[in-house]
Amino acid sequence: MDMPSYISGFVDGEGCFCVSFQPSRRHRFGWEVRPSFSVSQNADRAELLYLVQKRWKCGFIRPDRSDRTIKYEVRDVRNLVERVLPHFRDYPLLSSKRADVMRFDRICQLLNQRRHQTLEGMQRIVLLAIEMNPSGKRKYSCSDILNSLRSGEGIVCATGNRGIHEVPTCTNGVTLATLSRPETQ
């Protein structure tokens, strides 16, 4: 069986590539960028998710209470760049979701190169993310985010600290947090 092609087809139908923005006082420009790849399946077919996890040697599997499915998810930028996204370059999706994967790949590359720590890089990430899944709902417009970017002086970029206001993981596109916009300096 051609497992890589099967995985791409499975993800084309059931997968999600999204970039969430979380207002944050701890991050350089007032926003935390959270890329996430996920694919869901009914619990009775969860073995497909374990197969993908075993193949890529990263990510986690958890129940998704929003729709009573099981979800395989990868959030770590390094794993996305080194394990997940190379698969989709070699075995691209066939649907219109392919364009979102290409944008998601570029965003992850920019994050991996720490370009989100520059104003220009952060602006580019926002612009790419807003292009993903144009029919999706967004809490803030592109201009809301871009206009609220702080100067970035004197703020340490922390990672891996999830507060009680976690953004929903995936909505097949861009998710923007429900917290108020960060204060501008």
At 125-141, the pLDDT tens digits run 999 999 998 777 777 77
Full residue range of the structural domain in which residue 34 is found = 3-150+169-174
Q: Answer yes or no: is 179 within a domain.
A: no
Q: Answer yes or no: is 159 within a domain.
A: no
More confident residue, 14 or 152: 14
d(CA 72, CA 70): 7
Q: Answer yes or no: is 181 within a domain.
A: no
Q: Answer yes or no: is 157 within a domain.
A: no
Q: Answer yes or no: is 158 within a domain.
A: no
Lowest mean pLDDT among 19-28, 30-39, 55-64: 19-28
**How many independent structural domains does the chain possess?**
1
Side-chain-side CA neighbours of residue 7 (13 Å): 23
pLDDT in tens, 85-126: 999 999 999 999 999 999 999 999 999 999 999 999 999 999
Q: Answer yes or no: is 155 within a domain.
A: no
Write down the pLDDT at residue 184. 39
Q: Answer yes or no: is 62 within a domain.
A: yes
Q: Answer yes or no: is 156 within a domain.
A: no
Q: Are 70 and 61 in contact (CB under 8 A)?
A: yes
* CATH number of the domain that residue 126 is part of: 3.10.28.10
